[in-house]
């Protein structure tokens, strides 16, 4: 059973992303959006944690990255930038959605 | 007009778009600037994200208020303290921030940087010197 985990809080203010990564099992997906996209920036402690995960696909919402001035070259390798339509597809493709609000 | 000038510090600790704090702080700073006080802004924790350059909100239906920081110099708000540790924890450097400047009337209107990079302990000392702290 695949789960789409969504995170919309900054990893530096809330423990949502950290908890989410602890629960993301192989075959599941994590989508970062709103302030959650700050977790996608290279060179932080949380970025190392994301890079260290295996079998979990990480996505970040492009419009939210753009709003916050996070350019593509600043994003951790392996994270896929997606648009709103892909967000909907991910929610539909997975069996469940867990929102780490 | 006012006889007593007090030191006002606005402390910004939130990212710009996920909550309304950053925008509200900017509103209050601009209102407060009319009262001729000694004003400074501190950017700590996620507050440093407010100053990141290249913000483009065209795809999220929100107002991009980052250009407003450029106007602060015209309101004599020229001390924007950015905490070094907060930048580093977030994988950012000064180069990732908007260049913000003001014209110094006491120095033949020379253009100077408004952003001042401070260590946590330096900023704590400056915070200690203030009369009033506004927390956002």
- The 10s digit of each residue's pLDDT in B1-50 is 557 899 999 999 999 999 999 999 999 999 988 888 999 999 999 999 99
In this structure, the number of other CB atoms found within 10 A of the CB of residue B30 comes to 14
Query: Can you give the pTM of this predicted structure?
Result: 0.92
Residues from chain B contacting residue A42 (CB–CB below 8 Å): 91
Q: How far is B37 from chain A (nearest CA, A)?
A: 31
Interface size A-B, in CB pairs within 8 Å, comes to 68
Q: What are the b/e assignments for A45-82, b being 16+ CB within 10 Å?
A: ebbeebeebeebbbbbbbbbbbbbbbeeebbbeebebb
| Contact state of B91 with A43 under an 8 Å Cβ cutoff | yes
State yes or no: ipTM above 0.90.
no
Helix (H, G, I), strand (E, B) or coil at A69: coil
Domains of chain B: 7-135 (3.40.1260.10)
Residues of B in contact with A43 (CB under 8 A): 91
For residue B105, give both structure tokens: 């009337």
| Domain with A20 in it | 3-100
Find residue B81's DSSP bridge partners: B42, B116
Cβ within 8 Å, pair A42-B58: no
Q: The domain spanning residue A27 has which CATH number? A: 3.40.1260.10
Identify the burial level of A41 via C-beta atoms within 10 angstroms of its C-beta, where 0-12 means exposed, 13-18 middle and 19 or more buried: buried
What are the structure tokens assigned to B8, written together?
Answer: 């006002």
pLDDT tens digits, B85-124: 999 999 999 999 999 999 999 999 999 999 999 999 999 9
Cβ contact, residue pair A12, B53, below 8 Å: no
């Amino acid at each position: 059973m695949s789960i789409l985990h969504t995170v919309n809080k900054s990893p530096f203010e809330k423990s949502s992303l950290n908890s989410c990564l602890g629960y993301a099992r192989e075959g599941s997906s994590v989508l970062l959006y709103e302030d959650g996209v700050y977790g996608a920036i290279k060179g932080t402690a949380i970025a190392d944690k994301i890079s260290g995960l295996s079998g979990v696909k990480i996505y970040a919402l492009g419009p939210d990255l753009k709003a916050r001035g996070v350019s593509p070259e600043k994003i951790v390798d392996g994270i896929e930038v997606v648009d709103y339509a892909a967000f909907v597809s991910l929610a539909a493709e997975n069996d469940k959605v867990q929102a780490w609000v | 007009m006012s006889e007593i000038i007090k030191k006002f510090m606005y402390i910004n600790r939130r990212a710009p778009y996920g909550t309304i704090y950053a925008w509200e702080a900017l509103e209050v700073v601009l209102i407060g600037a009319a009262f001729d006080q000694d004003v400074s802004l501190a950017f700590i924790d996620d507050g440093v994200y407010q100053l990141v350059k290249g913000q483009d909100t065209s795809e999220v239906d929100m107002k991009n208020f980052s250009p407003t920081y450029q106007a602060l110099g015209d309101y004599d708000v020229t001390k924007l303290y950015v905490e070094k540790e907060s930048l580093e924890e977030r994988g950012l450097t000064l180069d990732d921030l908007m260049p913000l400047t003001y014209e110094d009337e006491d120095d033949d209107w020379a253009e100077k940087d408004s952003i001042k990079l401070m260590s946590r302990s330096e900023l704590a000392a400056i915070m200690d010197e203030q009369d009033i702290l506004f927390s956002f």
